[in-house]
Structure 1
Amino acid sequence: MKDNQAKYPQLRFKGFTDPWDQRKLGKMGYTFTGLSGKTKEDFGHGNAKFVTYMNVFSSPVSNSEIVENVEVDSKQHQVEYGDVFFTTSSETPQEVGMSSVWLETAENIYLNSFCFGYHPMVEFDPYYLAFMLRSPVIRKKFMLLAQGISRYNISKNKVMEMLVPVPEIVEQQKIGSFFKQLDDTITLHQRKLAKLKELKQGYLQKLFPKNGSKFPQLRFAGFADDWEQRKLSDIATLNARIGWQNLRTSEFLESGDYMLITGTNFHDGTVDYSTVHYVEKNRYEQDTKIQVENGSILITKDGTLGKVALVQGLNMPATLNAGVFNVKIKDPETIDVDYVYQYLAAPFLMKYANAKSTGGTIKHLNQNILIDFPVLLPRKREQVKLAELLNGLDNTITLHQRKLEKLQELKKGYLQKMFC
């Protein structure tokens, strides 16, 4: 009964009911090796190309542009349309045997020496093959083949013994086309997201004065006043939990009335309240200076330095653990908190933090360094306009990020259910 169930995927297109064959890869094609007999001097020039390891590792369908130069060599095996490439080793068993299908017809294209190739001798829809080999059911089989301790390897002979699902070609084409369209949509959203992030970086370069200037390169109409430079400590208070008050992990609670925020709880400028821990009331009340409220700006001081978040939507008392500064604007009437957040979240602080940090492997951003961080300030009305523009971009970026994540989760679910 169990073997019979394994021949039917959980989710299918309408009109397909036949069981899927389970066939060995080695019975349907042959393997070939990547580049051999080469030295370092042979690469980086020549009229031939080779498909890189990262090209194979990164995507179920190889990118024809991610190739590198090598001299033409008749002794090497030229790859063909529909060939499958497999990585032979990795640092983890989860990443060994990653596959990618080549869908180009150009000549003098070889495979890198850290992968092996597979040429199907039976009819496969190439996109079906690409996504089937990346499906969870097949990836689990590759992980079981991984051998090693510090680095894991697979035997191509063992891979050729692997059983894979082979439906009729018409069903393969339906499945392959479906995943290709889904991947194309994901790629489109990735490009939109990358362009939005580039747009914001461009604005950050032009909306703030550079190299001691008092005027930015790009400005809203109606603003002409000089900008002034102030120290962060002039416009805000900075506080962090001192050593003797540091909390032990045993004091972290899974629920409670007093939230504990750490640097691991925020990313992309926001605090993820679903990941926080809680503390007892006495720990919350221990230091009022690190009690967090809406409008607080948080900056990491240890490990990943200069990571910034603006506290919003907080609906309960909250405090900080070690490793995070609590920054509060002194005079909200003249200084806009959203502007200061955007300025601190820009690359200026990260560059400053990395240059001024102390410590060996684990870096620290001391308070006596951060208080001198220079903040460029226009008048309040211009601060608000700048913050509105950058906040709007952030909201659009977040929206596209969420759409992309939903599509990636959707793909993950389909890969789980559409192969057996």
Structure 2
Amino acid sequence: MFDNLFNSYNFRSPNFRRKMYILAQGISRYNISKKAVLNETICFPKISEQKQIGKLIKLMNSLLSLQQRKLELENKLKKQIAFYLYSFTLTPNFKHIEVKNKKLGDIVNISNGIMGDSQKKSGNFKLTRIETISNGKIDLSRTGYIDQVSDEKKFLEVGDILYSNINSLTHIGKNAIVKEKHLPLVHGINLFRLHITNNQITPNYLHGLLNLPKYKWWVKSHANPAVNQASINKTELSSLVIKYPDLDIQNQINNINYSFAQYWDIQYSKKESLCQLKQFLLQNLFI
């Protein structure tokens, strides 16, 4: 009467779990009565349909696993290619490429963030304050708010780089580029704003450069360690010497990285679509 594969997904379906939520009792820890579960009714189709449904969900799980593995491998490939693209111009083997050496403080203006009420979620706030960076992007899920800014120069601009100055040694130095869709914004005290003042380097190239292991190691070695988190000040960060080629090579590298980012986003969207499809099937095939 029952197909085990079908039931394994049936008992994990949203509809069945909702029935179990109702049966759960307790205060700090919830329990479900065996008798109550055995008295619960379930609906199921004939055995031939059960087998087809079980095989379908199993296939969806296989596709999701393969897509996740593909994303992991492509992410590694993207990082390796990015490392090569930024590193090859900085090695002695490429003497025909002119490389400039500059202190970071000579090409960017580094400014501190603004304090505000991170708990303020409603009221007469005007600006969102960025608090954290996640996976190389501005994290809009954890923000604070302020009512006003006395100096308009503190507004973030497109192309600015937000740089994590206080965090664990593993995460200090994370950075992200401000994009137009994120404006208007200001940044919190745990982030530096790097505003490029030198027209010989592009924001995207500097963003990739700062993520090279050699520069991350430099920041960690010059950070002030603490019990819970490390920090680096503006003076130390300004003294970081970076190397970069001319704008033409920078733009070629930026275009390659952009193509890889677009491809990765497409693959990630495929994974999200598969997750939504699986959820739809679990919701509608098991009632």
The TM-score range, normalised by the shorter chain, is 0.7 to 0.9
- Seen in structure 2, the aligned counterparts of structure 1 residues 327 and 252 have a Cα distance that, compared at 3 Å, is farther
1:269-284 alignment to 2 at 5 Å?
A: 269-271=136-138, 278-281=145-148, 284=149
Residue 310 (str. 1) matches residue 163 (str. 2): no
- Tell me which residue corresponds to 1:268: 135
> C-alpha displacement at 1:268, in angstroms?
3.4
- Tell me which residue corresponds to 1:248: 117
Looking at structure 2, the residues matched to 162 and 364 of structure 1 have their Cα atoms a distance apart, in angstroms, of 59
- Seen in structure 2, the aligned counterparts of structure 1 residues 362 and 135 have a Cα distance that, compared at 3 Å, is farther
SS at match of 1:382: helix
User: What are structure 1's unaligned runs of at least 5 residues?
Assistant: 1-121, 217-222
- Seen in structure 2, the aligned counterparts of structure 1 residues 257 and 246 have a Cα distance that, compared at 3 Å, is closer
Looking at structure 2, the residues matched to 251 and 166 of structure 1 have their Cα atoms a distance apart, in angstroms, of 49
1:230-249 alignment to 2 at 5 Å?
A: 230-241=102-113, 246-249=115-118
> C-alpha displacement at 1:323, in angstroms?
0.9
1:54-73 alignment to 2 at 5 Å?
A: none
- Tell me which residue corresponds to 2:162: 298
1:77-156 alignment to 2 at 5 Å?
A: 123-126=2-5, 128-139=6-17, 141=20
- Seen in structure 2, the aligned counterparts of structure 1 residues 249 and 256 have a Cα distance that, compared at 3 Å, is closer
Q: Which has the higher contact order (CA 8 A, sep 6+)?
A: 2
Find the partner of 2:77 among 196, 199, 205.
199
- Tell me which residue corresponds to 2:208: 342
Residues 209 and 215, structure 1, Cα contact 8 Å, conserved in 2: no
Q: Percent identity?
A: 20
Looking at structure 1, the residues matched to 75 and 201 of structure 2 have their Cα atoms a distance apart, in angstroms, of 26
Residues 136 and 415, structure 1, Cα contact 8 Å, conserved in 2: yes
> C-alpha displacement at 1:297, in angstroms?
0.7
Query: How many residues were matched structurally?
Result: 280
> C-alpha displacement at 1:400, in angstroms?
1.7
Alignment TM-score, normalising by the size of structure 1: 0.56
User: What are structure 2's unaligned runs of at least 5 residues?
Assistant: none
Looking at structure 1, the residues matched to 231 and 103 of structure 2 have their Cα atoms a distance apart, in angstroms, of 20
Residue 285 (str. 1) matches residue 157 (str. 2): no
> C-alpha displacement at 1:276, in angstroms?
5.0
Letter in 2 for 1:285: S
- Spell out, residue by residue over 1:7-44, the C-alpha distance to the aligned partner (whole angstroms, 9 max, x if none): xxxxxxxxxxxxxxxxxxxxxxxxxxxxxxxxxxxxxx
1:203-218 alignment to 2 at 5 Å?
A: 203-209=81-87, 213-215=91-93
Greater helix fraction, Structure 1 or Structure 2: 2
SS at match of 1:209: helix
Letter in 1 for 2:3: F
1:216-235 alignment to 2 at 5 Å?
A: 224-235=96-107
1:344-363 alignment to 2 at 5 Å?
A: 344-357=210-223, 358-363=225-230
Structure 1 vs Structure 2 CA RMSD? 3.6
Alignment TM-score, normalising by the size of structure 2: 0.78
> C-alpha displacement at 1:176, in angstroms?
1.5
Residues 86 and 208, structure 2, Cα contact 8 Å, conserved in 1: no
Letter in 2 for 1:385: Q
SS at match of 1:225: coil
- Spell out, residue by residue over 1:216-270, the C-alpha distance to the aligned partner (whole angstroms, 9 max, x if none): 7xxxxxx9314344332232121112xxx5212365656754332221xx43333
- Tell me which residue corresponds to 1:413: 280
> C-alpha displacement at 1:402, in angstroms?
2.4
- Seen in structure 2, the aligned counterparts of structure 1 residues 316 and 124 have a Cα distance that, compared at 3 Å, is closer
> C-alpha displacement at 1:299, in angstroms?
1.4
Residues 145 and 158, structure 1, Cα contact 8 Å, conserved in 2: no
